[in-house]
Structure 1
Amino acid sequence: MIGNLDTAILQQLWWLLVSVVGSLFLFMTFVQGGQTLLWQVAKSDIEKNLVINSLGRKWELTFTTLVLLGGALFAAFPKFYATSFGGAYWVWILILFTFVVQAVSYEFRRKPGNLFGAATYEVFLFINGAIGILLIGAAVGTFFTGSNFTLDTFNRVTWTNPLRGLEAAFNLFNLAMGLFLVFNARTLGAMFLVNNIDCTDVPELERRLRKSCLLSFLCALPFLVIILAYFMFWDGFGVDKDGVVVMVHQKYFISLMENLWLAGMLLLGLVLVILGVFLTSCKTSKAGIWFGGLGTVFVGLVVFFLAGYFDTSFYPSKADPQSSLTIFNASSSHFTLTAMTYVAMVIPLVLAYIAHVWYHMGKLSVADVQDEESY
């Protein structure tokens, strides 16, 4: 049945899968956001242990989602994977480094005989939450602003900037995307910690978390305005009927207006995030993370849809526009897409695993962080 689908349908289906997994990852960055809040909200060792152990129960889920996203891109769009990872390798190496030190930090922070001290690993957690997410946001931004590469007839990539991907962070839109994701992650992190920690014995921690949620959201707003302004007024990399990449005036705004359901999804996502912030910061509710998380997923889907669908290049080249990648010229063959679609049927199992782990790891109390097995 799947093998009878047209290649174009499979390509669009796989971009949908990438979009869903990518948006779920953006939601799961509440772990990284919570890590950056550690020094701001935790004023004692008990409070630090509560925050780190609450996040430590979920960090593997974020990493699982990131690996799943990378695997989906590798399987479905190998030319993008080869171009980006082969050309912009410095930015990806740094991102990978921040996630490696995150894993090391949770494992060794409170190990007996720790030579570096807990504070060193707390710095590593902050680096993962701030620098790692900033660079991921800048990388996502290049879906719209373009990257410095060319491809020859054999698809060999030449990167035209010696910074090898790090130059993306010096573009205003990319930087705004990165900083928005950092502060949105902090907002979600505060929501999650309010939901996940039993603050009966540490009421001040809950008060500081609720305050941080609002402050982080307010810090995210200027960068959100820049992103929305870009989508409304800037030109985008369109693809005409002959497959030629051309600059289209207000490309992304036109896509939103021609697909009002997409604009509605964007508006709904923003409203849900605002509702999550309101419930967490202005009320005593602990349910804000579910509204903020769902809103983040909706906004993420809009970003990925704008990049890949509607006759758009999802990985444009500033150096040579005709080297730009679309979901059609960057994808695997029909056979590979078909085979991987069958394999992708295990994705619901991965999501079920995440839901199962989440459900069975209940709220964290002071008593839970006083044993030697805690992070």
Structure 2
Amino acid sequence: MFDYETLKLIWWVLVGVLLIGFALTDGFDLGAAMLMPFVGRNDNERRVVINTIAPHWDGNQVWLITAGGALFAAWPLVYSAAFSGLYWALLLVLFALFVRPVGFDYRSKLENTRWRQSWDWGLFVGGLVPSLVFGVAFGNLLLGVPFQFDDTLRSSYQGNFWQLLSPFGLLAGVVSLSMLGLHGGSWLMMRTEGAIARRSRRATQGLSLVFLLAFIGAGAWLLFGGIQGLAITSTFDPGAALNPLAKTVAATNPGWTANYHAHSLTVIAPLLGIFGGLLALLGASAGQGRTAFLGSSLAIVGALCTAGFALFPFVMPSSLDPASSLTVWDAVSSHKTLVIMLIAATIFVPLILCYTLWCYAKMWGKVTTAHIEHNPHGLY
């Protein structure tokens, strides 16, 4: 079996894969829900949008649940520090996600215009809030989270919810919002036709431009905006069980570029994000939904890998006490726990992937207003 150092790296990769899997699958239904009030101009058109995502949204959230479980088991210190310090932000996401199952299931139960419009905007909020908050959270990881550990490794958080909404944090939120929005728009281009597809096409074009500007702008801010990164300056054994406080950390400027200088291949990640945004823009301009969806998928992979490569080996940097920052090397569970989890992941992650692909294959096809009119009570 793998040694401890290798297992630490494997779980850094696996948590990243789960987060990317969540963004690729649940991302398009969050994006489609955000666009629904704008691309659907009447009740039947909005039901078309809902029925392109309703059969899949709950299965897509398995990736989020799995990522949360992996975070708890593989990086317990990160889980405890993040979920206690970012409590209100995560609670906001949770309540927004609560709206989704109720909205999908009960929206069409009553043939009342005000009732349905209320749930339409509820689903819009349920798509917008998580998309925005997840981006803001990533932005604050790059800025550093104001927490620290005491000698008994109990964490204390010195910030508040409003401090998360810094200019750079909000810019990262715009990156996430536009990225998932264009992912949802390209999905609707593939799964709808007529007026809905045309409006989705225009939305995808606009959101592609916003994503490209925000993503490049965030990168420029990191390079030239005075944001400091962190680097471990003390020697340590990455294959040992480490105390998070037993390292020396120094600030670097410009921030979070060391890995890109040391490993030139990592520059592929931001280039992939830009290429994906451009491909989505070109695909939408040409009316090619599949090309646009491929582009938005590549943009998601590139954007998340860009953040991951920049932060490595840090997982949760501390702006309050850099030595308390949590890394891939010192925030993990025991060797035995990582081995057991790896065995479970080797079995279940491919099963989840295969089942997800099978569901999409069986339920593939365009949803039309005629389909809704002929099945008024059998669809969402």
TM-score, normalised to structure 2, is 0.90
Question: Are 1:252 and 2:256 counterparts?
Answer: yes
- Pairs within 5 Å for 1:25-64: 25-28=22-25, 29-64=27-62
Contact 2:280 2:292 in 1 (8 A): yes
Letter in 2 for 1:323: S
Contact 1:26 1:300 in 2 (8 A): no
Instruction: Please give the alpha-carbon distance, in whole angstroms, between the structure 2 residues aligned to 1:82 and 1:154.
Output: 14
Give the secondary-structure state (helix, strand or coil) at the position aligned to 2:307.
helix
% identical equivalent positions: 27
TM-score, normalised to structure 1, is 0.91
- Pairs within 5 Å for 1:322-333: 322-333=323-334
From the superposition, tell whether residues 119 and 259 of structure 1 become closer, same or farther in structure 2 (CA, over 3 Å): same
Letter in 1 for 2:43: D
Q: Using the TM superposition, give the Cα deviation of residue 241 of structure 1 relative to its aligned residue in structure 2, in angstroms.
A: 3.1
For 1:297, the equivalent position in structure 2 comes to 301
From the superposition, tell whether residues 139 and 32 of structure 1 become closer, same or farther in structure 2 (CA, over 3 Å): same
Task: State the Cα RMSD in Å.
Answer: 1.9
From the superposition, tell whether residues 19 and 166 of structure 1 become closer, same or farther in structure 2 (CA, over 3 Å): farther
Question: Are 1:237 and 2:240 counterparts?
Answer: no
Instruction: Please give the alpha-carbon distance, in whole angstroms, between the structure 2 residues aligned to 1:181 and 1:276.
Output: 15
Instruction: Please give the alpha-carbon distance, in whole angstroms, between the structure 2 residues aligned to 1:218 and 1:269.
Output: 12
Name the stretch that deviates more: 226-235 or 149-158: 226-235
Letter in 1 for 2:215: L
For 1:288, the equivalent position in structure 2 comes to 292
Question: Are 1:365 and 2:368 counterparts?
Answer: yes
Of the three residues 193, 201, 207, the one matched with 1:216 is 207
Instruction: Please give the alpha-carbon distance, in whole angstroms, between the structure 2 residues aligned to 1:329 and 1:273.
Output: 35
- Pairs within 5 Å for 1:309-348: 309=313, 313-345=314-346, 346-348=348-350
Contact 1:23 1:298 in 2 (8 A): no
Question: Are 1:267 and 2:271 counterparts?
Answer: yes
Letter in 2 for 1:184: M
Instruction: Please give the alpha-carbon distance, in whole angstroms, between the structure 1 residues aligned to 2:341 and 2:232.
Output: 27
From the superposition, tell whether residues 284 and 158 of structure 1 become closer, same or farther in structure 2 (CA, over 3 Å): closer
Q: Using the TM superposition, give the Cα deviation of residue 268 of structure 1 relative to its aligned residue in structure 2, in angstroms.
A: 2.5
Of the three residues 84, 95, 98, the one matched with 2:96 is 98
Give the secondary-structure state (helix, strand or coil) at the position aligned to 2:231.
strand
The size of the alignment, in residue pairs, is 362
Give the secondary-structure state (helix, strand or coil) at the position aligned to 1:314.
strand
Q: Gaps (5+ residues) in structure 2?
A: 236-246
From the superposition, tell whether residues 106 and 285 of structure 1 become closer, same or farther in structure 2 (CA, over 3 Å): closer
Contact 2:33 2:127 in 1 (8 A): yes
Contact 1:34 1:193 in 2 (8 A): yes
From the superposition, tell whether residues 113 and 145 of structure 1 become closer, same or farther in structure 2 (CA, over 3 Å): same
Give the secondary-structure state (helix, strand or coil) at the position aligned to 1:110.
helix
- Pairs within 5 Å for 1:9-28: 9-28=6-25
Q: Using the TM superposition, give the Cα deviation of residue 331 of structure 1 relative to its aligned residue in structure 2, in angstroms.
A: 0.6
Q: Using the TM superposition, give the Cα deviation of residue 227 of structure 1 relative to its aligned residue in structure 2, in angstroms.
A: 1.4
For 1:180, the equivalent position in structure 2 comes to 175
Question: Are 1:196 and 2:201 counterparts?
Answer: no
Letter in 2 for 1:270: I
**1:219-257 CA distance string (max 9 Å, x none):** 233321331113323320211233212101224223213
Instruction: Please give the alpha-carbon distance, in whole angstroms, between the structure 1 residues aligned to 2:338 and 2:50.
Output: 40
Q: Using the TM superposition, give the Cα deviation of residue 353 of structure 1 relative to its aligned residue in structure 2, in angstroms.
A: 1.4
Instruction: Please give the alpha-carbon distance, in whole angstroms, between the structure 1 residues aligned to 2:317 and 2:272.
Output: 28
**1:25-72 CA distance string (max 9 Å, x none):** 222312111111112111122211111111212212331111111111
